[in-house]
Structure 1
């Protein structure tokens, strides 16, 4: 090459230097395992930020304290709401169990259908009477366009209208969520917003002597009262979708829930804000 004179040793050294530079450049631009470590994304949710990626997975984390947990995903005509908490508290579908897979679903990454309640004869009753639960949490996903109806509660009768009834979450005639208990007087906490908009929502109520009454909607604490610490001293059954709500403020003439439900559970513990948030986020 004109203008450049290199001894043989210098030529070899130059070649080695150029080869080393090429190796370094290739290593910088070559694909590695880390190039494929992106978070898995579904709609607006990411597996990297959600503690659980399914509703059933989130509830599974807290089944130790569950009284029962129903997926409400059985086929149309089913008689039994299977308890997957391990407590064996299988519920009974009253009336005709109608299943549907609406779009969008309450928990889009969970397989199975939702329970469609007709606002008249559809509800779920639990099998065994429970004596005076004073520390508890209630939970259900629901969708409705109707203002009124019981979502989940506690009553003295397994299937008929209950004489004693409290620990109830219901929709009032304005579509607001109300959590009520009774102890010599009506005790309620009410959401500011309405939830009969035809979209899926998640509701949780909790009560204990230490925390009072709390009501969560879509993962957020929307109402509470630490002074209300004890429900009525009663023995009864947990019921999903129907029982009387007479005597409660804003109650509708029809006590039955009209709409769809997915995943109903009751716990003998107070779910924390973190647990409630984890359950809700798993459905987004």
Structure 2
């Protein structure tokens, strides 16, 4: 019986040894060699590199050939177009409104872009006609597109809402608006077009939390969609056109009349910071929008 017990222990020991050998073999096969490819996240004191094709917002935007691109990095020319197409915008102060250029890299929407600048738009109280020109950047005349993406970063604590970015019929002042992004008083993000009636998508959550957010609206033959921080709020597949009753418009960052639109806010003039405004003549995909958002985080 003693000899039998020893034999059982020997067999058990042999099985354990065999199992350990198998584990070591599998581990050696799974460990990457010096030439193996893998995804990594590297963080240092200033920058974060993730598994994303773009490290900066500038690289992400330019890779998709924007129609216009306002980085707001040039305080001498706030409406400078960085798309390479020369579609510079103009700054219209209007009334007592103004723009302040931010210069703190750590508080930039896209801190890895290096320049650390953005602009602050102001909402001056009651909704009046003067609201329409407070801190307004307007592009030159454009042909209103039916396939497009508008994209902008914003940061605010306002409880009065306001129009952030979109197409206007007029260069300045009270205007007819379409293809635009705005906030309601609760800080919910709206994207709207008007193909004969008001068509809007809005977020259920509020985003007036003093944090940078990226709002993106797309329109194409596949429908209209709204994304906030690269998360799709929803899409409406049967809305494939915007207003085609005017042949010329102006892309405006800042105020214009939203008083007749669903969820209309107390103010036409958005009060808060904005950065990296871009227009594309294509509908960016969800993956492309996510890549743009990651580039800024």
Task: Judge same fold: TM > 0.5, yes or no.
Answer: yes
Shift of 1:104: 2.9
Native 8 Å contact 2:188 2:207 kept in 1: yes
Alignment correspondent of 2:29: none
Deviates more, 1:53-62 or 1:43-52: 43-52
Q: Return the alpha-carbon distance in structure 2 between the equivalents of residues 41 and 104 of structure 1.
A: 18
Shift >4 Å, 4+ stretches: 42-46
Structure 2 SS opposite 1:109: helix
Alignment correspondent of 1:106: 109
Q: Return the alpha-carbon distance in structure 1 between the equivalents of residues 44 and 53 of structure 2.
A: 14
Structure 1 unpaired stretches of 5+: 1-31
Root mean square deviation, CA, Å: 2.2
Q: How does 1:236-247 map to 2 (within 5 A)?
A: 236-247=249-260
Q: How many residues align structurally? A: 244
Alignment correspondent of 1:283: 296
Q: How does 1:94-133 map to 2 (within 5 A)?
A: 94-95=92-93, 96-102=98-104, 103-112=106-115, 113-120=117-124, 121-127=134-140, 129-133=141-145
Shift of 1:161: 1.1
Shift of 1:67: 1.5
Shift of 1:257: 1.1
Q: TM-score, with normalisation over the residues of structure 1?
A: 0.80
Structure 2 SS opposite 1:126: strand
Q: Please identify which structure carries the higher strand content.
A: 1
Q: Return the alpha-carbon distance in structure 2 between the equivalents of residues 42 and 215 of structure 1.
A: 33
Structure 1 SS opposite 2:203: strand
Q: Return the alpha-carbon distance in structure 1 between the equivalents of residues 68 and 215 of structure 2.
A: 16
Deviates more, 1:99-108 or 1:224-233: 99-108
Q: Return the alpha-carbon distance in structure 1 between the equivalents of residues 263 and 287 of structure 2.
A: 30
The structure with more radius of gyration: 1
Q: Return the alpha-carbon distance in structure 2 between the equivalents of residues 119 and 126 of structure 1.
A: 21
Q: Return the alpha-carbon distance in structure 2 between the equivalents of residues 85 and 243 of structure 1.
A: 24
